Structure formats: structure tokens, C-alpha cells
A and B are shown apart, each in its own frame.
Chain A
Amino acid sequence: MTIKGRAYIAGIFEHPARLAPDKTVAQLHAEVALGALADAGLTRDDVDGYFCSGDAPGPGPASMAEYMNLKLRHMDSTEIGAPPTSHWPRMPPKRSHSASAMWRW
């Protein structure tokens, strides 16, 4: 199983604020979510999955799912310092690695 060609990035949004003392963190998350959906030509009602990492307030995706009133079939949250795919939907491993004990950095 591979992600190759199975997922498209249809919408993007970057928050224009660089200093936002008057907004909550949840608000920032919701504003970028709505911005990316608008960019894609989709609405909140089209959403059936939500993924976040530790910067989303609350236990995993739960608080933000409620705050944005999302109706979800797929959700997850991971926290590993947030490189680009760290909160990616997990795909089953497609190749086996050599024994990790042999890894040397």
C-alpha cells in the first residue's frame, strides 16, 4: 500500500497574522481550516476527516472537532515536533527495514 497518487492537496491557507494577541489558538486553527476549505472550493460540510498535532488545544482532535462542529469518520493526532507529514493518516508499512539495532547515525 502506498500514498503515491492517492491523496491530493486541494486547498491551502496561511494565516496572515504574525502577531495575534486578540485571537485564541482555537480561533487560529479554525480560521486556517476555513481558509483552506474556501481555497479548495469546499465547505465544512464536505469534511469527514481532521488531523492535528500537539499545537491544537485539547485531547487530540476532540476539542477542535467540537469547536469547528465537524462530523468526522477519520481523525488522528500525533506529536513528534511536527515535521511535514507527522500528522499524516498512517499507511501500513510497505517495506521492511533492516533490524533497527543495526542503525547507526
Chain B
Amino acid sequence: MTLAGKPRSEGMATGTAPRARDPNQPEAPWEAPYAITTANGYAMCAMRHMYEYGTTSEQLAWVKVAASHHARHNPHAMLPEVVTVEDVLNSPLIADPLHRLDCCVISDGGGAIVLVRPEIAKKLKRPLVRIIGVGEAVKHLTGGTFDLTISGAARAGPMAFAEAGVTAADIKYASIYDSFTITVIMQLEDLGFCPKGAGGKFVADGNLISGVGKLPFNTDGGGLCNNHPANRGSMTKVLEAVRQLRGEAHPAVQVKNCDLALAQGTGFQLATRHGSATMIMERE
């Protein structure tokens, strides 16, 4: 199973230029004229989250700060420098309230995983990492009755947890798709790592930093600091979760006794319609 692309060398302005969409998409007549950019849509979610729950720019920034603390140990990371909350707040505003450092990188690259049946896995000389739960959902506008602060993880997450027979409290490491800092906060809430609206408080003060906080996340630096090949974060989220379960993450960020990990993604546009998938993996 492969993922790869090179938007960086192709000069793509992934988040800040309107993208050409299929004019046959049924929503096109209502949305295309407004030429929403990716950053616009995610900023709208962030603004609504601030309005509803009092989330602050400082809390959003903590997501990036945590990612940067992990990225400094990754020799391949595009942005390996540790940043502070002030650095994020002082970076240029891209789409209010999102600053440049609230946005993920644009990178080339890719990743792949090999899936095998149990009997083959047991013949190979690699640590045994098995999938124990998956969930998928599409969040859309439900005819106009929708909440900008909820992601598809609110549907996909419970399906995956039910299949795996575990809860968010059992998860030792989480890879959370991080196109923007707000993306992480919304998905953490929707997966049940904290109550809805409490994501800002949950991520503050280094709670996502491995060895410091309660929920180590994106220990490769994630999309915010490491890479975002083909404008996607799905594959790399699974890769770092597998490294953690194998005990092959960088020693500085390796979670002790990591036997249960989750990878969570959303794809397309958080503010309108997107796919969402949750996968729970276990070290056997």
C-alpha cells in the first residue's frame, strides 16, 4: 500500500490557493464561486471553536510546540527547530486565527506499508503489529444542520474503539492528522481523549510531548514539522505508530511499553465535507 507525491517541487500553494474541483460535484454551484482555500476552511473551524469553547491561539500553538519538540530528534524533518508559543503567535497570520506555524509543511516524499496475514507475519523476523480496530466516516453538511467544531472522528473513532474493545484511556501513543493545529484539537476531542470543547486545555503545557505529557502524539514531528507527502498525512501517521509499537521510534521520543497505538486522519476539508478514518494497532 503506497502513498507518494511531490507538491513541494511542483510549487503547489496547497493551503492558500483555491483548488480546481470537479464542476460536476453537486455542491459546486453553491461553493465554487466563493473559492474557499484550505486554510480558509480550517480557520473557520478554529474561529468557531474559539467562539463556542473559549479556545485560544496560545492553546492552538501548543500543538505545534509539541510537534517541534519531537521533530528535533528526526534527522529528516523539514522543520527540526524547537519553537515556542510566542514563535507561533508571532508568525504571520495566514487565515485568522491560524498563523503560519499553525499550518503543516508542504513536502515531497511518501511512505508504504506491507500488510500480511497472521500466519505470514509470524514467519517474518519483525515485531508483530496487528490491526485490531478500524472505523470510517464521511462528515458532510447534512443539508445545512452541522457543527463546524466536529470532525468525522466523532463517528469513525467509536467504531474503531468498539471493534478493538479498548477506550481512549488505554491508548499509549496517538498519531493525529495535523494539517493545522486546530485539526488535532478537534480530533482529540472527537476521539474521546478529552471532553468536547476541552481540547485547547488538553493540549496546553506540553501534554502532547513524549516523556512530558499524558498523550504523546506525532513523535516524528508530524505534518507540522516533519513532512506531508502528496498533501496527505495518513500514511506517515501509520508509520510512526508502527515505529512506536515496535520500539523503533527515536529513543528520545519512544513511549515506554508502547503496546497500543491509534492513528487518526481526516481528508479533504474540515469545514465542509471530509473522510475520516481511525485505526487501532496492537503490539502482540
Cα-based distance from A83 to B231 in the complex (angstroms): 11
Q: Which residue in B76, B126, B138, B152 is a CB contact (below 8 Å) of A40? A: B126
Q: Check: A96 CB closer than 8 A to any chain B CB.
A: no
Q: Check: B6 CB closer than 8 A to any chain A CB.
A: yes
Q: Which residue in A6, A64, A103 is a CB contact (below 8 Å) of B2? A: A64
Interface pair A41/B126, CB less than 8 Å apart: yes
Interface pair B114/A42, CB less than 8 Å apart: yes
Q: Which residue in A25, A35, A105 is a CB contact (below 8 Å) of B142? A: A105
Determine, out of B59-67, B129-137, B193-201, B210-218, the stretch whose residues face the partner at the interface: B129-137
As a 0/1 sequence over residues 112 to 127 of chain B, the CB contacts with chain A under 8 angstroms (1 = contact) are 1111111011001110
B243 CB → nearest A CB, Å: 7
B220-242: which have CB < 8 Å to A? 220, 227, 229-230, 232, 234-239, 242
B154-169: which have CB < 8 Å to A? 154-156, 163-164
Cα-based distance from A81 to B136 in the complex (angstroms): 12
Cα-based distance from A31 to B6 in the complex (angstroms): 14
Interface pair A18/B107, CB less than 8 Å apart: yes
B72 CB → nearest A CB, Å: 16
Cα-based distance from A37 to B146 in the complex (angstroms): 43
Give the residues in chain B near A85, CB-CB below 8 Å.
134, 136, 277-279
Q: Check: B9 CB closer than 8 A to any chain A CB.
A: yes
| With A18-B76, A21-B9, A86-B277 as contacts: A10 and B132 at CB distance below 8 Å | no
Q: Which residue in B78, B112, B281 is a CB contact (below 8 Å) of A32? A: B112
Interface pair B275/A80, CB less than 8 Å apart: yes
Interface pair B279/A20, CB less than 8 Å apart: no
Q: Which residue in B6, B117, B274 is a CB contact (below 8 Å) of A21? A: B6
Give the residues in chain A near B112, CB-CB below 8 Å.
11-13, 29, 32-33, 35-36
Counting contact residues on chain A (CB < 8 A from B), the size range is 35 or more
Give the residues in chain B near A86, CB-CB below 8 Å.
136, 234, 265, 267, 275, 277
Q: Which residue in A4, A16, A36, A55 is a CB contact (below 8 Å) of B5? A: A55
Give the residues in chain B near A104, CB-CB below 8 Å.
142, 145-146
**What is the interface size of chain B, counting residues whose CB is below 8 A from a CB of the partner?**
77
Give the residues in chain A near B140, CB-CB below 8 Å.
105
Interface pair B3/A52, CB less than 8 Å apart: yes
Q: Check: B53 CB closer than 8 A to any chain A CB.
A: no
Give the residues in chain A near B114, CB-CB below 8 Å.
9-12, 36-37, 39-40, 42
Give the residues in chain B near A103, CB-CB below 8 Å.
142, 155
A76 CB → nearest B CB, Å: 10
Interface pair B243/A83, CB less than 8 Å apart: no
Q: Check: B108 CB closer than 8 A to any chain A CB.
A: yes
Q: Check: A19 CB closer than 8 A to any chain B CB.
A: yes
Cα-based distance from A31 to B155 in the complex (angstroms): 35
Interface pair A28/B130, CB less than 8 Å apart: no
Interface pair B109/A17, CB less than 8 Å apart: yes
Q: Check: B180 CB closer than 8 A to any chain A CB.
A: no
Give the residues in chain A near B2, CB-CB below 8 Å.
29, 32-33, 36, 50, 52, 56, 64
B212 CB → nearest A CB, Å: 24
Across the two chains, which residue of chain B brings its CB closest to A81? Answer: B267
Q: Check: A69 CB closer than 8 A to any chain B CB.
A: no
Give the residues in chain A near B230, CB-CB below 8 Å.
55, 82
Interface pair A5/B109, CB less than 8 Å apart: no
Among A6, A9, A37, A86, max chain B CB count under 10 A is at: A9
Could you jot down 8 A-B contacts, CB within 8 Å? A8-B120, A12-B243, A14-B220, A18-B109, A29-B2, A40-B124, A81-B267, A83-B277
